[in-house]
Structure 1
Amino acid sequence: MQAYVTLHVENEIGYIEFFHPNKNAMPSDILLKLEQTIKSAGTNKSIKIIVLQSGGNRTFCAGASFNELMAIEDAETGRQFFSGFANVINAMRSCPKLIIGRVQGKAVGGGVGLAAATDYCLATKYASVKLSELSIGIGPFVIEPAVSRKMGVAAMSQMTIDAETYYTSEFAKDNGLYAEVFETQEELDKAVKSLAERLAGYNPEALKEMKTVFWKDTQHWDQLLPQRAEISGKLVLSTFTKKTLKRFR
C-alpha cells in the first residue's frame, strides 16, 4: 500500500487519516502533507470537529522514518527532518477547532507527540507508548513540550529515561494522555464517532474559545519547537548515533 494523508468530512466532522506501510513511521513529505491537511481542515467552514487517526490496526504511529533519519549527513538536513513533527504539533496547537485523537495501536516517539497534541484522546488497550530516542543517541526534544503538558514532567522523564520500555495504555491513561481506553477497535470507533458528533452540535464559538484556553501560554512553541528540532538535527550526526543507527540497516 502507498502512503497517504486523507481528509473525509461527514456530519460536520473532518476525519484526517495518515498512513505509511512501514508501521506508520512518517517521512518528511507525509508529515508536511499532514500539517497542510490540519491547517486546511481548520479553515474549512463545513468542519466543526476534527478527528486525527491513522490507517492500519496495531500501530498508530512509529514516529519518524528511520530510513530518512539514517540518510542525514548535515545539521541543516537534520533540522529540517526533525521540524516535521514540530510543524504538525504546532498546526494542531494553533488549529481553531478541537481535535480528537483516535489511537488504535502503539505510539512511539513522534507518535506519542501527536497523541499528546490532540485536545482529547481515546485509545484501545493495544495503544502502548514508548519514547525510544535516548537509546539511539538523540532525545524527544521536539515532542517534549506536548508530552509534558499532557502527562506531566514525571511521566515524561520516566518514559524518556527508560527508553526501551513500552508503557501500557493504562499507564498512558493514568497519566493523562488518554481519556478512555477500550477493549476493541470497534468500541473505540463507536466512542470517537459518538463524541465527535455530540461536540459538533455544540456552539462552535464556545468550542473555539475553549481551545484557546486549553492551549494558553504555548504561543512561544512557534519558536521553541524549531529550536528543539535544531538540537536533534545536530545530535543525529554524532558518532554514537551513527553507530547505533547502523544496527537498523
Structure 2
Amino acid sequence: MEQNAYIKTDIADKIATITFYSAASNSFPSFLLEELTTAIDNLNTSTTVTTVILQSEGTGAFCAGASFDELLSIQDTATGKKFFSGFAHVINAIRKSPKIFIGRIHGKTVGGGVGLAASCDYCFATDKAAIKLSELAIGIGPFVIEPAVSRKIGKTAFTSMSLAAHEWKTATWAQQHGLYDEVYDTIERLDLELHTFATRVSTYNPEALAEMKQIFWEGTAHWDTLLTERAEISGRLVLSDFTVQALQAFKQK
C-alpha cells in the first residue's frame, strides 16, 4: 500500500472539493478507489453541499489510471474483478449522487482517469490535459469506463481512442468531442474560471440540481450490473501472459 496516497475532502459553503493523490502520477491502487467512493457517498448525506469539484494534486498528470504495481500483483480472477470493480464503484457513486460534479483536469490523463473525467457533469481542463486509452496496449481494454466515456464522446470517438492505444488525443480534441467543456492555457486561468462557475452553480436550487442530475444520467440505471460485468472481463484478461509481459516491459522502461 502506498503510504503517501490519500483522498481528502474540503468543504466551503456549498462547494466540496475532493482531492486525490498518489506518488505514481496520481494512479489508483484499490484502497484509494475505495476511499474515493466513500468520500463521494459521504457527501450525499450533506444538506448544504450541492456542488463537488474533483481534482488531483500537483502540476503533472491528472491521473495515470490503474496502479501498474497492483495490476502485476493480481493472481486470480476474483481479485482482478474486485480491483476493476473499484473504478465501477467510483463511476456509479458519481452517477447516483444528487450533487453536481465538476472535473478539474489540469494535466495528462490515462485509462481510468479518462473515466473519472467522463463521469463528471462538467469539466474544466488545461491545454496540457491530453488523454489516452492505453488499455489495449497492455492486453486488457477500457471495459469498465467505456459506458461513461462513450456517453460523453460517442462510440465512434471511443473506438478511435481505444484502437489508437499509443496515441495521445489533445485537450482540444477532447473538448471538440464533448469530454471537456472548457479548456484554458494556464492552471491559474482554469482555477479562476472553475471557481466562478462552481460558485454560480452552488447557488442554484438544490432540488432543481438533483432533478437535473437524474436527467443528465437518464438511461444508466443498469450500470450497477453492467460495470460489474465489465470488471469481470478486465479481471480475467489482466491474468493473461500478454498483459503480464506488457506490464513488466512497461515497468522496465
Q: Given the two structures, how large is their TM-score scaled by the length of structure 1?
A: 0.98
User: Alignment partner of 2:44: what SS?
Assistant: helix
Q: 1:215 maps to which residue?
A: 217
- CA root-mean-square deviation: 0.9
Deviation at 1:204, TM superposition (A): 0.8
Q: 1:176 maps to which residue?
A: 178
Q: 1:146 maps to which residue?
A: 148
Match for 1:110: what amino acid? G
Structure 2 unaligned runs (5+)? none
Task: Confirm whether residue 206 of structure 1 aligns to residue 208 of structure 2.
Answer: yes
Distance in structure 2 (CA, Å) of the matches to 1:131 and 1:246: 19
Match for 2:218: what amino acid? K
Match for 1:191: what amino acid? E
Task: Confirm whether residue 94 of structure 1 aligns to residue 58 of structure 2.
Answer: no
Q: Contact 1:102–1:121 at 8 Å: present in 2 too? A: yes
Distance in structure 1 (CA, Å) of the matches to 2:161 and 2:60: 20
User: Alignment partner of 1:17: what SS?
Assistant: strand
Distance in structure 2 (CA, Å) of the matches to 1:5 and 1:240: 33
User: Alignment partner of 2:16: what SS?
Assistant: strand
Distance in structure 2 (CA, Å) of the matches to 1:41 and 1:192: 20
- Give matches, 1:72-221, under 5 Å: 72-221=74-223
Superposition misfits of 4+ residues, deviation over 4 angstroms? none
User: Alignment partner of 1:60: what SS?
Assistant: coil
Match for 1:184: what amino acid? T
Q: Given the two structures, how large is their TM-score scaled by the length of structure 2?
A: 0.97
Distance in structure 2 (CA, Å) of the matches to 1:177 and 1:103: 11
Distance in structure 2 (CA, Å) of the matches to 1:176 and 1:43: 30
Q: Contact 1:138–1:236 at 8 Å: present in 2 too? A: yes
CA deviations 1:11-33 (Å, max 9, x no partner) are 21000111111100110001100
Structure 1 unaligned runs (5+)? none
Deviation at 1:245, TM superposition (A): 1.6
Deviation at 1:3, TM superposition (A): 1.1
Q: Contact 1:11–1:197 at 8 Å: present in 2 too? A: no
Distance in structure 2 (CA, Å) of the matches to 1:202 and 1:8: 20
Aligned residues: 249
CA deviations 1:180-202 (Å, max 9, x no partner) are 10000011111111111101111
Match for 1:91: what amino acid? A
Deviation at 1:45, TM superposition (A): 1.5
Report sequence identity in percent.
52
